[in-house]
Amino acid sequence: MANITDVAKKAGVSIATVSRVINGNTNVRENTKQTVLKAISDLNFTPNINAQGLQKKITKTIGLIFPDASSYYFAEIIRGISSRLRKEGYHIIVASSHDEEDEVNTLISLLKSGRVDGMILMMPSIQNVNVFKDSLVHTPVVYLSTGINTSQSTTVVLDNYQAAKDITEHLIWHGHKRIAFIHGAPRNFDSMERYNGYVDTMKNHNFEVSKTLESHGNFTEASGFKSAMELLNQKVRPTAIFAANDAMAIGTIEAAKRLSLKIPDNIAVVGFDDISTAQYIDPALTTVKVPVYKVGQIVGRSLFNQLTDGKKNIIEEKIVIPLKVLIRKSCGCSYEDDKFL
């Protein structure tokens, strides 16, 4: 494989000149530039990334740590991030893992070995965040859906709170007073915020908020099914259930069917995310749309800004993504969704 010296020889110039044209330096005569470009193309030369990284101390690579639970929208997120960062020449290293310690280690090693220029952290489970903060003070990083308050870095969060309020208000508008909430995974930031939106809205209306109206799942359909069963088997049933995500809402619908309850007449159900199944399930699920691809792009752009601004003047920034409620039928609306025809 050709290296810069081969190119220099072929073009009859020094390697410095070759380097200059590679890096778009203006101080090269048009004439020689063309000669070099020709040599590069003739020899099918690509600069060695390790040598470049060694010199420039950048790798044009960013790290992305993602948690187990997020799998369903992960590909979309990546695509969003990648679409934004690709055009700047960045690549993405991903790391997933089943246990937190492993994640921490991966992160640290990625950082310390100089493998990445920046990081995107999807760590919805707040717990370990402080372990990271120390390692990250001098690294461009954006946190996604994390409750962390960081100086020196950017956080991108969904407007879970407002959207949860909106969708709860909608249920109340339908006349519901006994509205139950199914939590997602323990300590999950998104789930907690959605819960806060729900609770505050209930309180604003002086409606009951109690443990009997809450149940704890872990974002899976199965857990939603189980949680819903608990809620629905009480002597006094809720008339509506707000699940912290769509998968659990779908589990809830399944549970209601098992108990021969009509949706939305006997029990209304709403979710969060707008996964693709939401519109196909019967009845179509009223939920909150999370624009995953777009979130990815925003995260990508935000990281790129930090990368180019340099670590010295990173601005603490919190980007809040607004969310919209998607009215379908499971809440009681009769709006006919003509999705296909």
In this chain, which stretch among 53-61, 142-150, 301-309, 313-321 interacts with DNA, using CB under 7 A?
53-61
Helices within 140-213 (DSSP H only): 160-173, 189-204
**Partner from DNA, a second copy, none binding residue 152, C-beta < 5-8 Å depending on class:** none
Torsion of CA 320, 321, 324, 330, to 10 degrees: -90
Cβ proximity to a second copy: between 30 and 134 the closer is 134
**Given 14, 105, 127, 204, the residue binding DNA (CB under 7 A):** 14
Whether 60 contacts 280, CB under 8 Å: no
**Partner from DNA, a second copy, none binding residue 115, C-beta < 5-8 Å depending on class:** a second copy
Cβ proximity to a second copy: between 173 and 280 the closer is 280
Residues interacting with a second copy, by CB under 8 A? 1, 44, 46-51, 53-54, 59, 61, 66, 68, 70-72, 74-76, 78-79, 82-83, 86, 91-98, 102, 106, 109-110, 112-115, 221-222, 225-226, 229, 247, 250-251, 254, 257, 276-277, 280-282, 339-340
Q: Which long-range contacts (CB under 8 A, 24 or more apart) does 57-60 make?
A: 57/114, 58/117, 59/114, 59/115, 59/116, 59/117, 60/89, 60/90, 60/91, 60/117
**Partner from DNA, a second copy, none binding residue 247, C-beta < 5-8 Å depending on class:** a second copy
For 334, residues 6+ apart whose C-beta sits below 8 A from its C-beta are none
Does the protein bind DNA through residue 56 (CB under 7 A)? yes
Distances (CA, A) of 23 to 26, 35, 114, 317: 9, 15, 21, 31
Does the protein bind DNA through residue 59 (CB under 7 A)? no
**Given 34, 54, 175, 258, the residue binding DNA (CB under 7 A):** 54
**Partner from a second copy, DNA, none binding residue 221, C-beta < 5-8 Å depending on class:** a second copy
Q: How far is the CB of 27 from a second copy (least distance, A)?
A: 25
Strand order, beta sheet including 179-183: 214-216, 179-183, 240-243, 268-270
For 129, residues 6+ apart whose C-beta sits below 8 A from its C-beta are 123, 143, 146, 147, 148
- What one-character DSSP code corresponds to residue 57? S
**Partner from DNA, a second copy, none binding residue 320, C-beta < 5-8 Å depending on class:** none
Site for DNA, rule CB under 7 A: 1, 3-5, 12-20, 22-23, 26-29, 31-33, 45-48, 51-52, 54-56
